[in-house]
Amino acid sequence: MVFTKIIFPFIVDNFYLFLPLLLPLVYLRIFFNKSELQSDKERSKKTTKFAQKEKEAGNRTQNEDADDEVEEVDDDDELEDPAGPAVEDVDFISYEFTQYTEEEMILRSQQFFQEMNKRRTIRVFSDKPVPRQVIENIIRTAGTAPSGAHTEPWTYVVVSDPKLKVSIQDIVEREEMINYTQRMGIKWTNDLKFLKTDWNKPYLTEAPYLVLLFKQVHGYTNTGQKKVHYYNEISCSISAGLFLAAVQQAGLVTLTSTPLNCGPALRSLLNRPENEKLLMLLPVGYPGPNSTVPALSRKSLQEFSSFH
Ligand SMILES: Cc1cc2nc3c(=O)[nH]c(=O)nc-3n(C[C@H](O)[C@H](O)[C@H](O)COP(=O)(O)O)c2cc1C
């Protein structure tokens, strides 16, 4: 009542008296809006520059990228061909699903776990030959892995030639000696002590097959343009997991190795293109007659999972 009858008419009649108060308020609002926008822009610029620098340094994995803000897409970029096939080239077909009973599922999952639980990393190999077809099937299995935008960014290079194996051993042992004595440092070498590994890698000439997994950091389209390989390291790592499972299922053994600093020399020895970077070196074969493994225990289900 007081407001509508007295205060409001007073404000309307004398609004010019309030103008000096309003102007600074409007000015302040504009100023804060501007500085907010500015700091947003600077933050975004910094993130992009940081990601770019990390990429240029070549020490950033796709995995680390996944947690960052996504870089702005520059729409002025020349339109590239799609990473995968064109939308009009892909039909959708019905999925052939095999339905098992609950009992069958429990049994199958149990049996698969029991088989995989027997898998161990083997570091002493027999030179007993393995049929090439087995290796082909194992790699076929690895090739069934899902991949970012179905780019299938993996190359499996299989070496059985004895001379080439000696060259690989020379490269790896030379680098591993520097790794153990200089690059890895006290903490890393201490953490590895229980495995009793060193820079000698006899398995590189003992195992009938050395399988080198290269991640394709990008690909090429039919017209020769660079094709983005989304999450290529994650995709290749999933593929490697299937490879390990297939080796186990076939009744063979392998060693998941990531020889530090050997990538460029092995890439050049095996004539691989510059878009391929070595991810893993996996000897495959039978365990050697005196092969031992460290008695390691695995975490229980409760320790590494949580059900809600
Ligand atoms: C990413 C990765 C890299 C590895 N690199 C090496 C390696 O360079 N040399 C080696 O002897 N073992 C290597 N290993 C094997 C591990 O030491 C082994 O998996 C671990 O000790 C557990 O033993 P298990 O595989 O028998 O269960 C690697 C394993 C992984 C997953």
Assess if residue 68 is contained within a domain.
no
Assess if residue 8 is contained within a domain.
yes
Residues 147 and 270 in one domain: yes
Domain that holds residue 267: 121-292
Pocket test for ligand 1, best of 180, 256, 298 (most atoms within 8 A of CB): 256
**pLDDT tens per residue, the chain (308 residues)?**
555 666 666 665 765 665 555 555 555 555 555 544 454 444 444 444 434 533 533 334 444 444 444 545 555 455 556 767 889 999 999 999 999 999 999 999 999 999 999 999 999 999 999 999 999 999 999 999 999 999 999 999 999 999 999 999 999 999 999 999 999 999 999 999 999 999 999 999 999 999 999 999 999 988 888 999 999 999 999 999 999 999 999 999 999 999 999 999 999 999 999 999 999 999 999 999 989 999 999 999 999 999 99
**Pocket of ligand 1 contains residue 195 by CB under 6 Å:** yes
Per-residue pLDDT, 3: 56
**Ligand 1: nearest atom to the Cα of 259:** 8
Residues 17 and 157 in one domain: no
Residues 43 and 130 in one domain: no
Residues 35 and 129 in one domain: no
Assess if residue 163 is contained within a domain.
yes
Residues 10 and 128 in one domain: no
Domain CATH code at residue 243: 3.40.109.10
Assess if residue 69 is contained within a domain.
no
Per-residue pLDDT, 22: 54
**Pocket of ligand 1 contains residue 107 by CB under 6 Å:** no
Which of residues 11, 31, 51 is at a domain's end?
Answer: 51
How far the first Cα of the chain sits from its last, in Å, is 58
Rounded-to-integer distance, Cα 91 and Cα 50, Å: 41
Per-residue pLDDT, 40: 47
Pocket test for ligand 1, best of 172, 237, 257 (most atoms within 8 A of CB): 257
**Pocket of ligand 1 contains residue 295 by CB under 6 Å:** no
Matching residue, tokens 């190999």: 125
Joined together, the tokens standing for residue 165 give: 């194996």
Output phi, psi for 151, to 5 deg. Answer: -90, -15
**Pocket of ligand 1 contains residue 201 by CB under 6 Å:** no
CB 278 within 8 A of CB 156: no
Residues 129 and 251 in one domain: yes
Residues 28 and 141 in one domain: no
Assess if residue 98 is contained within a domain.
no
Assess if residue 259 is contained within a domain.
yes
Rounded-to-integer distance, Cα 32 and Cα 4, Å: 34
Q: How far is the CA of 160 from the centre of ligand 1 (A)?
A: 22
Residues 23 and 126 in one domain: no
Per-residue pLDDT, 290: 84
Assess if residue 155 is contained within a domain.
yes
Per-residue pLDDT, 115: 98
Please give the model's pTM, rounded to 2 decimal places.
Answer: 0.79
CB 240 within 8 A of CB 280: yes
Rounded-to-integer distance, Cα 1 and Cα 219, Å: 76
Assess if residue 95 is contained within a domain.
no
Q: How far is the CA of 111 from the centre of ligand 1 (A)?
A: 24
Residues 264 and 157 in one domain: yes
Residues 201 and 288 in one domain: yes
> Per the structure, how many domains does the chain have?
2
Residues 169 and 274 in one domain: yes
Per-residue pLDDT, 19: 56
The distance of Cα 175 from the centroid of its chain, to the nearest Å, equals 24
